């Protein structure tokens, strides 16, 4: 059983691996890495049916997805989940990433390079590029692709996906407070993420953010959600749980660019994912000059100061969908 994280680390510079990750969690992550390596594990039922791909660990510090994938593996191998029909594929994304970083040191962000040029091999992105090609094979042979992430900053759990019936029929099972729609692909900078490439291949691509990376409370709820997705599609037997409560919807509209000569300082309370903002409200100061929100909505993916330069931005802004 994973113990809940102790509070009181919020104001300390965080090294997720070293300081706030419990030894037990670290041990389980290492065990999962040893079991999976770079393999995609594939389980098939006797009958034909839908194919689901679950990806954990696309970013190195986001271990909840790794543990969910490993729990699915164990359940499928022990028969706790008896797969009757269809197929489940499980893989870990960036198995070389540093435990406390999104990427391997000196490596590239795996979730930005699922691009036609990298998939075809025209553009050489080294080890990560070959990983993209491997994972793309699994995506091509799937119907549903769920990529499990967590956030660096405190945040409720949320889904990033298209909002149509095909997608919502999958993500309706995932524990979440919100759904973030990004039809213009502003967050990925025009494409290149796993859920987007899955959509491009005509699959149902879902990006799930489980909450802050140190928060392990969603392991079992996410596992149960994936089981419900399989029950509903007749892949395993079982009783469907109650649906989680419906979530609010937001649409990504813009970002605040990083400017080295004018450092950005968030206004109080605005450096958290889903912090509400009103049109005209000051969300921070850039080089001492106030920055006003152009919309009614929320702050999304606020970057820590040390991550802003590589991200090229400070945060995104999303508007609230009118019900
Ligand atoms: Zn991530």
Mean pLDDT of 242-258: 93
Per-residue pLDDT at 307: 86
In a domain, 244, yes or no: no
Quick one: 21 and 149 in the same domain?
A: yes
CB 101: neighbour CB atoms within 10 A?
17
Measure 111 CA to ligand 1 centroid, in angstroms.
Answer: 8
- Residue 6 located in a structural domain: no
Strand 276-277, strand 289-292: pairing:
unpaired
Nearest CA-CA partner of 155 in 316, 245, 272: 272
Residues 274, 194 share a domain? no
Residues 57, 70 contacting (CB under 8 angstroms): no
**293 CA distance to ligand 1 middle (Å):** 25
* 239 CA → ligand 1 middle, Å: 31
Query: Which of 202, 232, 262 is the last residue in one of the domains?
Result: 232
Say if 243 falls within a structural domain: no
Question: Which of helix, strand or coil describes residue 133?
Answer: helix
Q: What is the CATH number of the domain that holds 70?
A: 3.40.630.10
CB-based contacts of 215, cutoff 8 Å, min separation 6: 5, 64, 150
Q: Distance between CA 210 and CA 133 in Å, rounded?
A: 26
Residue 3 domain flag: no
Q: Report the pLDDT value the prediction gives residue 98, as an integer from 0 to 100.
A: 74
Asked if 225 and 260 sit in the same domain, the reply is no
Cα 100 to ligand 1 centre (Å): 12
Q: How far is the CA of 274 from the centre of ligand 1 (A)?
A: 16
Single out the residue in 197, 232, 267 at which a domain terminates.
232
Query: Which of 17-21, 181-185, 218-222, 252-256 is predicted least confidently?
Result: 17-21
For residue 47, the model assigns a pLDDT of 98
In sequence order, what are the residues at sequence separation of 6 or more whose Cβ sits closer than 8 angstroms to the Cβ of residue 56? 32, 62, 63, 64, 65, 66, 67, 68, 69, 70, 90, 91, 92, 93, 148
| Helix, strand, or coil (residue 18) | helix
Please choose, from the candidates 318, 214, 242, the residue with its C-alpha nearest in 3D space to the C-alpha of residue 275: 318
CA 233 to chain CA centroid, nearest Å: 23
| Burial environment of residue 23 by CB neighbours within 10 A (0 to 12, 13 to 18, 19 or more) | exposed
Query: Average pLDDT, stretch 93-118?
Result: 87
313 C-alpha vs ligand 1 centroid, how far in Å?
Answer: 16
Phi, psi of 284 (to 5 degrees): 170, -175
Q: Ligand 1: distance of its center to the CA of 149 in Å?
A: 4
pTM: 0.89
With CA atoms as reference, report the closest residue to 264 among 294, 289, 281: 289
In the chain, % of residues over pLDDT 90:
78
- Interior angle at CA 51, CA 191 and CA 69, nearest 5: 75
Cβ atoms of 209 and 158 within 8 Å: the answer is yes
Residue for token pair 């965080």: 14
What lies within 8 Å, CB to CB, of 27 at 6+ separation is: none
Tell me, yes or no, whether 188 and 269 share the same domain.
no
| Residue 36 is assigned to a structural domain of this protein | yes
Same domain, 269 and 311: yes
CA of 286 to the centre of ligand 1 (A): 26
CA of 227 to the centre of ligand 1 (A): 22
Nearest by Cα to 25 from 224, 227, 219: 219
pLDDT digits (tens, 9 = 90+) for 168-198: 999 999 999 999 999 999 999 899 999 999 9
Residues 152 and 261 in one domain: no
Collapsing DSSP states into helix, strand and coil, what is residue 279?
Answer: coil
Q: Within this chain, do residues 303 and 169 fall inside the same structural domain, yes or no?
A: no
Residue-number span of the structural domain to which 125 is assigned: 16-232
DSSP 14: P
Residue 7: inside a domain, yes or no? no
- Whether the predicted pLDDT of 106 surpasses 90: no
- For residue 191, the CA-to-ligand 1 centroid distance in Å is 15
* pLDDT tens readout for residues 107-119: 889 999 999 999 9
Residues 100 and 139 both lie in one domain: yes
178: Cβ contacts below 8 Å, ≥ 6 apart: 156, 158, 159, 247, 248, 249, 250, 274
Residues 204 and 259 both lie in one domain: no
Q: Is 84 left (phi over 0), alpha (psi -120 to 50) or beta?
A: alpha
Are residues 207 and 313 both part of a single domain?
no
Domain count within the chain: 2
Residue keyed to tokens 């989940």: 81
Of 213, 16, 3, nearest to 99 (Cα)?
Answer: 16
Q: Is residue 240 situated within a structural domain?
A: no
Cα(49)–Cα(215) distance, integer angstroms: 34
Ligand 1 center to 310 CA (angstroms): 15
For 60-88, what is the mean pLDDT?
96
Ligand 1 mean position, distance from CA 85 (Å): 30
In the reported structure, the alpha carbon of residue 301 is separated from the centroid of ligand 1 by a whole-number distance in angstroms of 11
Q: Are 143 and 51 in contact (CB under 8 A)?
A: yes
Average of per-residue pLDDT across 239-268: 94
235 Cα–ligand 1 center, Å: 28
Shared domain for 186 and 279, answered yes or no, is: no
Q: How remote is the CA of residue 43 from the centroid of ligand 1, in Å?
A: 25
pLDDT at 104 over 50: yes
Instruction: Clarify whether residues 228 and 148 are in a common domain.
Output: yes
The answer as to whether 20 is a domain residue is yes
């Amino acid at each position: 059983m994973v113990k809940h994280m102790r509070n009181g680390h919020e104001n300390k510079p965080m090294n997720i691996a070293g300081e706030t990750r419990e030894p037990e969690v670290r041990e389980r992550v290492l065990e999962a890495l040893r079991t999976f390596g770079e393999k995609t594990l594939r389980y098939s039922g006797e009958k034909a049916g839908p194919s689901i791909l679950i990806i954990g660990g696309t970013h190195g510090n986001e271990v909840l997805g790794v543990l969910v994938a490993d729990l699915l593996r164990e359940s499928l191998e022990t028969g706790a989940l008896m797969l009757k029909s269809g197929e489940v594929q499980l893989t870990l994304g960036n198995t070389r990433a540093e435990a406390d970083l999104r990427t391997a040191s000196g490596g590239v962000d795996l979730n930005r390079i699922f691009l036609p040029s990298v998939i075809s091999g025209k553009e050489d992105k080294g080890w990560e590029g070959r990983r993209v090609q491997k994972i793309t094979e699994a995506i091509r042979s799937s119907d549903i692709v769920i990529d499990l992430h967590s956030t660096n900053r405190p945040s409720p759990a949320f889904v990033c996906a298209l909002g149509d019936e095909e997608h919502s029929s999958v993500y309706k099972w995932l524990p979440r407070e919100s759904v973030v729609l990004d039809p213009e692909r502003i967050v990925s900078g025009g494409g290149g993420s796993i859920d987007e490439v899955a959509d491009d291949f005509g699959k149902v691509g879902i990006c799930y953010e489980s909450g802050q990376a140190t928060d392990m409370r969603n392991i079992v709820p996410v596992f149960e959600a994936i089981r419900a997705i399989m029950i509903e599609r007749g892949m395993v037997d079982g009783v469907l749980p109650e649906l989680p409560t419906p979530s609010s919807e937001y649409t990504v509209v813009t970002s605040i660019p990083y400017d080295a000569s004018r450092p950005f300082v968030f206004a109080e309370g605005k450096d958290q994912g889903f912090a509400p903002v009103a049109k005209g409200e000051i969300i921070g100061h850039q080089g001492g000059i106030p920055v006003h929100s152009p919309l009614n909505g929320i702050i999304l993916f606020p970057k820590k100061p040390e991550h802003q330069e590589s991200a090229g931005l400070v945060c995104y802004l999303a508007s609230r969908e009118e019900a």
